[in-house]
Structure 1
Amino acid sequence: MEITRLSPDDESGCAAAVALEIAVAKVDCPDLVLATPVGKANQLRYGWDLNPGRQHLARDADGNLVGLLGLHYPKYENTDQLWMDVWVHPDHRDGDVWEQLIAFAEQEAQTVGRTMLGLNTFDTERDIALATGHGFVQKAVEVNRKQDIAGLDWEVVQKLYDGAVEKSAEYELVRVLGALPEEMLEDMIAVTESINDAPTDDLEIEDDVYSTERLRAYEEAQAKSGTRIYRLIARNKETGALAGHTIIGVEGDRPEMAWQHDTAVSRDHRGHRLGALLKAGMLLWLREAEPQIARIDTWNAESNNHMIGINEQLNYTIVGRFLDYQKKL
C-alpha cells in the first residue's frame, strides 16, 4: 500500500478524499456533514487558526483509494501530542489498511518527537475493537448535534431570549461580524480561555492557551477559508467588562451550512443566564443576516450537561457519538 501526503492544490485528490469520507459516513454515521472538496483544501491550507494538519491518502496496488489518515500537530499547547483520525473505505475493512495507517502515524509521532497519540473514532464496535486492540485507552465521548432551522420554533427562541434578558439586565449584547475591533482584542483573551471550564473527561490535555496573535490567526484562517464569522459578545453595561461570547461560522461555498465554533462565559459573570442569552440572541441575529441557513452543527463533550440542556431547548438533535482515545508511546 502506498501512503502519500495530500496537497491542498491537488483538486482531484481532495475530491477523492471527500468521496471516501462520504462512503465511510454512509455506513458509520449517515447524517454527518463533511467538508466539500474546496473546504478540504482550505483545511489543509489554513486549518482552524493557521496551524493546518496533514492528510495522507492510502492507495492499494491497483491505485484505488482505500484509506485516509488525518494528522493534527498541536502548536500552542499539548505539544507532546499527535492527534489523528483514520478513515477506511467500507470495501477494505479487513483490518490491514487500518493497521498500516496507525503504524504510519506512530512512526510520524516518533519522527517529530511526540510521545502521546490521540485518536478520534466513530462509536462503532469495529472502531472500538481496533482502537483498544492497539493499546489505545478511551478518555472521552463527544456528541455531534444538528439544529434544523426549518423545524425551529421561533416562539421558543424568543421566549428563551426574553427570559434570559430579564436575568441579565446589567449586560448588553455586542454584534461583531468578522475580525474583532482592536480595542476588544486583549480583553477577549480571558473570555476565550473560559472554554477551559468545559468538561474534558479523562483526556490528558493541557488548558488551551490564547493570545492576541492566536485570536487574529483564527480570524485570518476563517476569512481565507471563506467562512463568515458572527460573534455575539456579552458586555457589562456599567464596567464595560466582556463577560462571554458565542461564535457561528457560515460556510462560503455552502452558505446553507453553519457551525457553532465557541460559546463561553467567564467564571465571574456566570449565574445571569448569559449562555442562553448569547445562544438565543445569535439565532435571532442570523435569522436577519443569513436567512438561507438550513442547519447549524455543534460538538460537545457528552458530559457537558449545561450546554447540552440549552441546545436541546433550541431543537438540537443527535447526529452521532464519537470516541476520543489516547496512547502513550
Structure 2
Amino acid sequence: MSIQVDQLWIPDTLESDDAADFLAAVEVARRVRLATWGTDDLAYTPVEKLFELRDPYERQVLLAARLDGRIVGVADVSLPLMGDVDVAEFTLDILPEAQGHGVGRALVQAAEHFARSEGRRHLFVDTDHPAATLGDDQGSLLPDSGPGFVPLASRSVDFARRGGYTLERIEQFSSCALPLDSVLEGSLLAEADAANAGRYRLHHWRDRCPDEWLADMAALDSSAEDLTLAEAAQSGVPAAEWEDYDAEALRRAEDIAVAQGRRAVVTAVEHVESGSLVGVTTISVLPQRQDVVFQDETHVRLAHRGNKLGLLLKISNMQQLRDLFPDVRVIYTWNALENRYLLTVNQQLGFRTAGVTGLWQKQLPDLSQPNLT
C-alpha cells in the first residue's frame, strides 16, 4: 500500500469542480467522530468547515493522506495569527479501517514539517476518550498538571507518546439533553435567585452586544486577573492577547461569527449597586444545525463568586435558548477538571460525562540556534 500526503485545495464553493477532495476530507472527519462518540453531532458540515477556514485570526491548512489514491486521513493544522504565533494546533482524523498502515505517522510528520516551515515550534494535539473507555483496568496516564487521566490502552495515547508528545492536561466533555425538565428548572432558578437576594440583574441578547454594555463586556473578556489558571487555559485566548482585547476586538469577533452564520445566545449579569456587568455566559448555535449547540465560556468576576451567579447565568441562558431555538435537543461543553464549581453546576442542570479530551504538547527544537553539544 502506498501513502501520499498533500495539502488540500480549498474550493471557493462546494459546487466547484475542484471541491471533491475537500468534501471527502470533511466526510473522513465526520466518520471518525461518529466512530468515536457514536454520533456525528461534533462534526462540521462542509458549509460550516468552509466558513471556519476563512477565519481571519487563524490560518488553517488541511493535509490529506491518501492510501492507494483514496483520502483516508486528514490533519487540520491551525496557526494563530495573533498572540502566540509560535503555536500550531493539530487535529488528526484517520478512518478506522485505515489505521495500522502508517497513515497517522505520515500525517503527523507532514503536519510537523509544515508547522516548522511556518516558524511554529510549540505543537498541540488532542486525543478523545469516550466514557466507556475510562473504566478499564489496563492502566492510566496522568497529565503534567491538574486531575484526570487517559487510558494507557488507547491507541491514540500510544501514538501521541511514541510521537514525543506530553500529556499536559485533561478536559471533561459533557452533554445535556434539552429542554430541561420544567420542575428542575424552576427549583434551580429559585435557588439561584435566593442566593443573590436581588443584588443582581440579568440582561439577554443575541449575536451582538448592545452598545451600552460593550465596554463592560470587553473588560470582562480581558480581565485575566479574574481567571484561575484552568479558566485561562480553557478560554482559548492566548495570554499575550488579554490586554489587547477591547471593544473593537469584540465587535470584530462578532462580525466574523455573523459572517460565518453562527448565532450566539448571551446572558450577562449586572451588579445593581455598581451598574457594571460582572458575569456572562454564551451558547453558540451553528449555521446549519439548530438542534445541536455548544456551551461557550462562563465567567464571573472573582469578587462576585459565591452567589450562585454561574447557576443563574446558565439556567437563564438555557431558557433564552429554548425560546429562540425550540428545536435544540442537546448541548455540549468542555470543562477543565479543576473548575469544580462549573462542573457541579453542570451536574445540577443534568449534564452527563460523555468522556474526556487529552491535551498534548510537543516542543520542536530551534534549528536556528547552534548545537553546542
| TM-score computed with the length of structure 2 as normaliser | 0.80
Match status 1:199 vs 2:258: no
1:87 Cα deviation after fit: 0.8
Q: Where does the alignment leave 5 or more consecutive residues of structure 1 unmatched?
A: none
Decide which of 154, 166, 190 is 2:194's aligned counterpart: 166
1:194 Cα deviation after fit: 5.2
1:198 Cα deviation after fit: 5.6
In 2: Cα distance, 1:66 partner to 1:194 partner: 43
1:76 Cα deviation after fit: 3.3
1:8 Cα deviation after fit: 5.1
Decide which of 5, 10, 21 is 2:8's aligned counterpart: 5
2:73 alignment partner in structure 1? 67
Match status 1:288 vs 2:312: no
1:148 alignment partner in structure 2? 177
User: Structure 1 residues 248, 314: CA separation in 2 closer, same or farther (over 3 Å shift)?
Assistant: same
User: Structure 1 residues 104, 31: CA separation in 2 closer, same or farther (over 3 Å shift)?
Assistant: same
Decide which of 23, 28, 31 is 1:15's aligned counterpart: 23
In 2: Cα distance, 1:245 partner to 1:122 partner: 28
Contact 1:140 1:202 in 2 (8 A): no
Decide which of 108, 112, 115 is 2:114's aligned counterpart: 108
Aligned-pair Cα RMSD in Å: 2.3
User: Structure 1 residues 189, 39: CA separation in 2 closer, same or farther (over 3 Å shift)?
Assistant: same
1:214 Cα deviation after fit: 2.8
2:102 alignment partner in structure 1? 96
Match status 1:57 vs 2:92: no
Decide which of 84, 87, 90 is 1:84's aligned counterpart: 90
1:51 Cα deviation after fit: 2.7
* Residues 8-17 or 30-39, more deviating: 8-17
Match status 1:37 vs 2:40: no
In 2: Cα distance, 1:202 partner to 1:37 partner: 29
Decide which of 285, 298, 303 is 1:263's aligned counterpart: 298
In 1: Cα distance, 2:63 partner to 2:215 partner: 37
User: Partner of 1:199: helix, strand, or coil?
Assistant: helix
User: Structure 1 residues 160, 200: CA separation in 2 closer, same or farther (over 3 Å shift)?
Assistant: closer
In 2: Cα distance, 1:282 partner to 1:2 partner: 44
Q: Where does the alignment leave 5 or more consecutive residues of structure 2 unmatched?
A: 15-19, 130-150, 365-373
1:70 Cα deviation after fit: 0.9
Q: How many pairs align?
A: 324
| Percent identity of equivalent pairs | 27
In 2: Cα distance, 1:53 partner to 1:149 partner: 33
In 2: Cα distance, 1:183 partner to 1:113 partner: 41
Match status 1:211 vs 2:217: no
In 2: Cα distance, 1:20 partner to 1:276 partner: 38
CA offset digits 1:136-194 (Å, max 9, x no partner): 000011222111115x3121122111211122221100111121123322221231245
1:41 Cα deviation after fit: 1.1
- Which residue identity is paired with 1:144? F
* Residues 308-317 or 209-218, more deviating: 209-218
In 2: Cα distance, 1:52 partner to 1:269 partner: 37
In 1: Cα distance, 2:232 partner to 2:358 partner: 11
Match status 1:25 vs 2:23: no
Contact 2:279 2:299 in 1 (8 A): yes
In 1: Cα distance, 2:233 partner to 2:308 partner: 28
User: Partner of 2:306: helix, strand, or coil?
Assistant: coil
* Residues 88-97 or 12-21, more deviating: 12-21
Contact 1:178 1:219 in 2 (8 A): yes
User: Partner of 1:54: helix, strand, or coil?
Assistant: strand
Match status 1:328 vs 2:363: yes
Decide which of 286, 289, 301 is 1:254's aligned counterpart: 289
Decide which of 263, 274, 281 is 2:309's aligned counterpart: 274
User: Structure 1 residues 98, 201: CA separation in 2 closer, same or farther (over 3 Å shift)?
Assistant: farther
Contact 1:194 1:265 in 2 (8 A): no
In 2: Cα distance, 1:292 partner to 1:325 partner: 36
In 2: Cα distance, 1:40 partner to 1:30 partner: 21
- Which residue identity is paired with 1:35? Y
Contact 1:77 1:206 in 2 (8 A): yes
1:50 Cα deviation after fit: 4.3
In 1: Cα distance, 2:337 partner to 2:107 partner: 28
User: With CA pairs under 8 Å and 6+ residues apart, which has the higher RCO, 1 or 2?
Assistant: 1
1:223 Cα deviation after fit: 0.7
- Which residue identity is paired with 2:165? F
| TM-score computed with the length of structure 1 as normaliser | 0.91
In 2: Cα distance, 1:280 partner to 1:135 partner: 42
In 1: Cα distance, 2:276 partner to 2:233 partner: 33
Match status 1:179 vs 2:208: yes
1:126 Cα deviation after fit: 0.6
